[in-house]
Structure 1
Amino acid sequence: MLLLGIDLESGGEFNLPAEKNFITEMGMVLWDTDFSQPVQIFSTLIDQGRPIAEEAAEYTGISDEMLKRHGAKPDIRILNRVKELMNLADYLVAHNGRDFDRPLLASFFSAQSHRMPEKIWLDTLHDVDYPRNCASRNLTYLAGFHGILNSFPHRAVTDVLTMLTILARYDLDAVIENAKSPRLVVKAEVSFENRDKAKAKKFGWENAGEGLKYPKSWVRILREKELEPLRKECDFALVILERLKPAGG
């Protein structure tokens, strides 16, 4: 099986919507699961002629001067290479791709009047069932937890290689099943005084993720099969607000 690992670095301020943000670096790795090895690697800086926000430059180490000196222009040649790699892959993989890489890449395609190929996405932030003693799903933490050294964190291609090396240690069929699973938007019925209970169970105030907003509600997205186990853990009621299509499709 061929997986295409994808990571994008951006130059806008943190939490900027995809349509207002811009890509400064692409890293993509075609990974053959039979060998647990990369078979093609694509990496490029992209100079879109926009100044990089200070917090983005500090986070990635990518500067305006780097892009001026080494960045490629965002033209059809990059788009064609990305499409070629995407079409070779059975699945696409990203870490937090659901909220970041996927919409940002779709916006890059749209800006050049192209449509991104339709593929199933696996998300190593959401779709991998990490051990209970794994305290965070941050990629840097996950690398340390699994004994992996990433010499250049927050750079695209090294983050992809780290992500795929971690993924290779898990049951890929289970990850694919999770990505294809029906999902729910669930509301926590808690009072203002008990809001910390909702926070502790990863509910967000008015924001479920993926751009989904629910006024004056503690909400989160979870897989349908996770609902009943979560009910047993909570001493407050859970209400289904919406049913979503699987994240990977």
Structure 2
Amino acid sequence: MSSDRTDLALMAETLAKSPDYRVLRRLVPRTEFSFCDGQAMKTGILLDVETTGLNTTQDEVIELAMVKFTYLPDDRIAAITDLFSAFNEPSIPIPEEITELTGITDEMVSGHLIDPDAVASFISDAVLVVAHNANFDRKFAERYWPQFERKPWACSATEVEWRKHGFDGSRLGYLLAGVGLFHQAHRAIDDCRALIEILSADVQKLNRSAFAVLLERARRKTIRIWAEQSPFERKRSFAAVLISA
């Protein structure tokens, strides 16, 4: 068996050297990414939720997965330090299309409840939460577990210009292929493991990790303004003032 694997690895290396082939290797989860050498490190969380639908105010979480990791002063990911994965039984049957997408069935979540104290403890030392569609995941997370409201968030899907850096798009499968890997699972914890591999990889021509590029953008100050129940013309005039400021 080991001989067969060695032969396959040699074939893959040979193909990879040719411009006519692109070789993808199955993602093998790992925990170590960069040598820390005693440097002070910060803690981050990668988060993914599976839900009964796309309505962030009415649909329900059926799975929460988190990967806790450390990162260095130069924003390189150092290591995975802990994992969290739990099911939650919703008040309604899981829609068929959601089961087809996620593989999660009513039987799998039956009787399960995500412990809010366990979630709070897991994220207590994190200085950053990263999700690949933070606009979606964050709303569910903050609705279920208010501790997330006090955490800074970053979106790995929108806060990195992936196409500019040579990727085919921002979908997780495209990004994973861009770093020479593939995975066939669609469970939340598997997607978190895939995302940390992507963020730990160097971006072409920058000699910096994708995570460092993400943090550079995420650290910029932003302002969120609501103009509810205002006439459209007033909204447009206000937007023009902001743009020219």
TM beyond 0.5: yes
Q: Distance in 2 between matches of 1:242 and 1:20?
A: 33
Q: Pick from 178, 181, 206 the counterpart of residue 217 of structure 2.
A: 178
- Aligned pairs for 1:119-158 (under 5 A) are 119-132=151-164, 133-153=166-186, 155-158=187-190
Query: Shift of residue 173 of structure 1?
Result: 3.9
Query: Shift of residue 172 of structure 1?
Result: 3.6
Find the counterpart in structure 2 of residue 26 from structure 1: 64
Find the counterpart in structure 1 of residue 139 from structure 2: 103
Q: In the alignment, is residue 93 of structure 1 matched against residue 135 of structure 2?
A: no
Q: Distance in 1 between matches of 2:51 and 2:94?
A: 8
Q: Distance in 2 between matches of 1:64 and 1:242?
A: 48
Q: Distance in 2 between matches of 1:103 and 1:180?
A: 20
Q: In the alignment, is residue 81 of structure 1 matched against residue 121 of structure 2?
A: no
Q: Distance in 2 between matches of 1:51 and 1:242?
A: 45
Larger Rg: 2
Supply the AA of the counterpart residue of 1:175.
L
Q: Distance in 2 between matches of 1:134 and 1:240?
A: 33
Taking every aligned residue pair, what percent have the same amino acid on both sides?
24
Which has more strand, going by share of residues? 1
Supply the AA of the counterpart residue of 1:127.
E
Secondary structure at the aligned position of 1:44 is classed as: strand
Aligned residues: 183
Are the equivalent residues in 2 in contact too, given 1:11–1:21 (CA < 8 A)? yes
Are the equivalent residues in 2 in contact too, given 1:83–1:117 (CA < 8 A)? no
CA root-mean-square deviation: 3.0
Q: Distance in 1 between matches of 2:79 and 2:184?
A: 18
Are the equivalent residues in 1 in contact too, given 2:163–2:169 (CA < 8 A)? no
Distance 1:150 1:173, change over 3 A: same
Q: Distance in 2 between matches of 1:240 and 1:150?
A: 45
Are the equivalent residues in 1 in contact too, given 2:46–2:66 (CA < 8 A)? yes
Secondary structure at the aligned position of 1:136 is classed as: coil
Gaps of 5+ in 2: 1-41, 202-208, 233-238
Q: Could you give the per-residue CA deviations for residues 16-37 of structure 1, whole angstroms, max 9, x where no partner exists? A: 2x11011111111111225632
Supply the AA of the counterpart residue of 1:44.
A
- TM-score, structure 1 length as denominator? 0.64
Q: Distance in 1 between matches of 2:173 and 2:240?
A: 33
Secondary structure at the aligned position of 1:66 is classed as: helix
- TM-score, structure 2 length as denominator? 0.65
Query: Shift of residue 91 of structure 1?
Result: 1.0
Q: Distance in 2 between matches of 1:184 and 1:108?
A: 24
Find the counterpart in structure 2 of residue 72 from structure 1: 112
Gaps of 5+ in 1: 186-211, 217-238, 244-249
